[in-house]
Structure 1
Amino acid sequence: MLPLAGIRVLDVSQVMAGPFCCMLLGDMGADVIKIEPPKVGDQTRRSMGFRLKGDDSPGFLALNRNKRSISLDLKTDADREILYALVRTADVLVENGRPGVAARLGMGYETLRAINPRLVYASISGFGQSGPWAQRPGFDLIAQAMSGVLSATGLPGSEPVKTGVPVGDLGAALFAVYGILSALVGRQTSGEGQMVDASLFEAALGLSIWETTELWGTGRSPQPLGTANRMSAPYQAVQASDGYFVFGAANQKLWLSFLEAADRLDLEHDPRFATNSDRVANQAALIASLHPTFARRTVAEWVDDLLAKGVPAGPIYDYGQALASEHVGARHMVQDIAHPVEGSFKALGFPVKLSDTPQEVRYPPPLLDEHREEILAELVERGLIGSHQMEDATRT
């Protein structure tokens, strides 16, 4: 039995942060019911500029395994009553509308808490449920820009660069999972649920550990460093004879091991590079002095030589190379998921492994409204709606 078996989650969210949060809960065994607008569903179903075989985009497929789907028009009284019936059976609800939208649809926290006091209600928004920016529309790019992340990313003197991975969206999803699980544990003692308020802005800011430390420690806002590190040097990408690789000599022991591997023991007593603090302060001079040395060997030679000395190092792979690597295969990070329309499609595996209850794909990403009759029948069986409501709510 998976750890979250018996926990029911209502996924009333779209696009990335909310669906990713709910998928992670589903991967751990939660019964996730995805509640979507009629006809169009989650807007990610029609996003991206390419398709596989069916109408649903690969982006939707990547974010919605281990869920069942029912479409409800929450602007109608009849479908809101079905939502309320589902809320009576639920442990968690996740929504990611702009603050106030859920309340206007009759599914605000106070409304649903009155129906089910044990409900853990998670809201994921651009800037949170309070504060002067709360009503601003929120996208990952905006969160990265206004949190400071954009200002510290890229190369010195270059135009603004966002992180390639959407840290605001995915970070908010992860923080929401953390809050939801904490609230579920707390409910065991209190007997009551609570509201979880997560935002893209605070996720991006909350991940800015080194950057805020530099600001408060020096009084200066961090500037872009390319691939270099704010707290350690050398720790970045450098150019070998045939391309770039990365390595990190992030403490004094590794620094000395690196000098030995690089045959640059002359730098051991250079006062500019005597300590890690000195090397960080003189990072540009350090890399300049090492540039001719790196040009003497290939990427493969450098990686092998540094690893042999215990210095962390690696080539720079693109996603095709990374996903084709033996290590990814050994860690089962690519899986083929059977699907009623696609036949099968590739998806990322589970990034956390559980020894005794390994995750599994119990449901492929659902077709829109695929599980309507099944979900309504469960509500009838529990006596939460009448059979006539099921008949009225069944759409062709």
Structure 2
Amino acid sequence: MELLKGIRVLDLSRYVSGPNCTMILGDLGADVIKIEHPKTGDGTRRWGMVGMGMDNPYFLSVNRSKRSVAIDMKHPEGRKLLKELASHSDVMIHNSKAGSLDAIGLGWDILHELNPRLVLCEITGYGDTGPNRDRPAFDFPTQAESGLMSVIGEPDGTPMKVGVPILDVATSLFACNGIQAALLHRERTGQGTRISTSLLESALACMTNVMSDYLVGGTEPVRWGNGHPNLAPYAAFRGSDGWFTIGVATEGQWAKLCDVIGRPDLAVDERFAVNQSRLAHRDALNSVLQPEFAKGSREHWLGRMKASGIPCAPINTVPQIVEDPQVHAIGIIEKTDHPTLGGIRMVRSPISVNREALPIRRPPPTFGQHTEEVLTGLLGLSHEQLENLRAEGAIR
């Protein structure tokens, strides 16, 4: 089911935060027209693995369900084309520095006058105002600056980043949520809306309980490694042959865990009887539990804990989770045909509608694959006009 069928998205974004947002919209049925620079394309086309070209895994990961059109937005003729495309679109999104569209004559006032029903989504690094307004931003530096890295890693180790561009992804989700709310608002009022978010704002919003511990509880968060600041045992342990995790969140689960490992005495030990006491004696608790877990295999303990209703899971590698029976059952890894790579596997949208998973509607486009299709089909340009625009460097 294409819930956003009939919605056209003009995507001027690059890298990850914007493209991931528009990919979600495309998966939901929107017609996403991705604008790429005629010479360089999206920046992630150059983030390829060794030996791979512009259609590399990084670009593929956030750019399915789109059409690629190569236009130079800084070229006068390119700007004219973008204005025409904006007049035919429902949503326009970019993730350049604040004010960048105004600088080339494509700011909100001009776009809103051109198309009053247009929803404009702007993703920036630091927001619309303030001393850092004009700074560019990427995921890793923002993880550092936002305080997120200060709570990731071992207590005495180096601060660590999340191993995926988590703030780009989170920002894309906030942006997508805002866009769809703006489209609903437009249905009620007939008017488009300008919405915005930033990597920094999204980072702070993602720190949920950690931020609240400081703002409300007055406690400065620290690194707990795989531990949890508010729960214990909530950590990683090693069996005789591999690692697994336990997430005990209630006293009932704690009592069950004590029975599973054959240590019911721990449930009544005053150091461990309740969560607050276990937090106060976290090191002692771990020093008791780890030797017990070392006596059995990972699968032994996971089997017993699952049978008792204790939240637990193995620490899988990527190859292991790809082959996991549950992953196969839900079918989230799907095969699709790509114009240059042939059959490839991708993680499809995690959204289902009426219990039917959203399929991969379009494979990620090749560079400028749909320039002619869009400019002739949507804007009505002739082949002669296209050749003139190519000769001028306005399009690819």
TM-score tier by shorter-chain length is: over 0.9
Q: Counterpart in 2 of 1:291?
A: 290
Match of 2:244 in 1: 245
The residue number in structure 1 matching 2:180 is 181
| Aligned-partner residue type, residue 4 of structure 1 | L
CA distance in 2, matches of 1:354, 1:279: 43
Structure 1 contact 2–357 (Cα < 8 Å) conserved: no
Distance 2:195 2:378 in 1: 26
Structure-1-length-normalised TM-score: 0.94
- Inter-partner Cα distance in structure 2 for 1:379 and 1:48: 32
- Answer yes or no: is the 8 Å Cα contact 2:348–2:360 preserved in 1: no
Q: What are structure 2's unaligned runs of at least 5 residues?
A: none
CA change 1:357–1:305 in 2 (3 A) is closer
Pairs within 5 Å for 1:186-265: 186-265=185-264
Q: How does 1:1-396 map to 2 (within 5 A)?
A: 1-52=1-52, 55-355=54-354, 358-381=357-380, 389-390=385-386, 392-393=388-389
Superposed displacement of residue 355, structure 1: 2.0
1:357 Cα offset (Å): 5.8
Q: How far has the Cα of 1:131 moved from its partner? A: 2.0
Separation (CA, whole Å) in 2 of partners of 1:358 and 1:255: 37
**Paired residues of 2:117 and 2:186 also in contact (CA < 8 A):** yes
Structure 2 counterpart SS, 1:123: strand
Deviates more, 1:266-275 or 1:146-155: 266-275
Q: Which secondary structure does the structure 1 equivalent of 2:271 belong to?
A: helix
Supply the distance in 2 between the matched residues of 1:257 and 1:295 (Cα, whole angstroms). Answer: 18
Matches of 2:332 and 2:283, distance apart in 1: 37
Listed one character per residue, the Cα deviations across residues 280-313 of structure 1 (whole Å, up to 9, x for unaligned) are: 2322221112122111111111100111111111
Aligned residues: 392
The C-alpha deviation readout for 1:311-356, integer Å capped at 9, x for no partner, is 1111111101111111111111211220111112221122122226
User: Equivalent residue of 1:366, what SS?
Assistant: coil
| Separation of aligned partners in 2, 1:279 and 1:190 | 55
Taking structure 1 as reference, are residues 48 and 96 closer, same or farther at Cα in structure 2, changes over 3 Å only?
same
| CA displacement at 1:36 relative to structure 2 | 0.8
Deviation at 1:50, TM superposition (A): 2.7
CA 1:309 to 1:358, structure 2 compared with 1: closer, same or farther past 3 Å?
closer
- Shift in Å, 1:176: 0.5
Contact persistence 1:33–1:67 (CA under 8 A) = yes
Q: For residues 88 and 364 of structure 1, what CA distance do their matches in structure 2 show?
A: 26
The Cα shift of 1:46 comes to 1.7
SS at match of 2:345: strand
Paired letter, 1:306? M
Q: Deviations over 1:114-136 (max 9, x none)?
A: 21111111111111122222212
For normalisation by structure 2, the TM-score amounts to 0.94
Asked whether the 8 Å contact 1:51–1:57 carries over to 2, the reply is: no
- 2:249 and 2:74 mapped to 1: Cα distance? 56
Give the whole-Å Cα distance in 2 for the aligned partners of 1:259 and 1:144. 37
Whether the 8 Å CA contact 2:298–2:314 is kept in 1: the answer is: yes
Superposed CA RMSD: 1.8
Are the counterparts in 1 of residues 349 and 360 from structure 2 also a CA contact under 8 Å? no
Distance in 2 separating the partners of 1:220 and 1:252: 24
Alpha-carbon distance in 1 for matches of 2:248, 2:61: 36
Distance 1:192 1:87 in 2: 15
Over the matched positions of the two proteins, sequence identity in percent amounts to 38
Gaps of 5+ in 1: none
Give 1:270's aligned amino acid.
D
Residues 34, 68 of structure 2: 8 Å contact kept: yes
CA distance in 2, matches of 1:322, 1:42: 30
Paired letter, 2:13: S
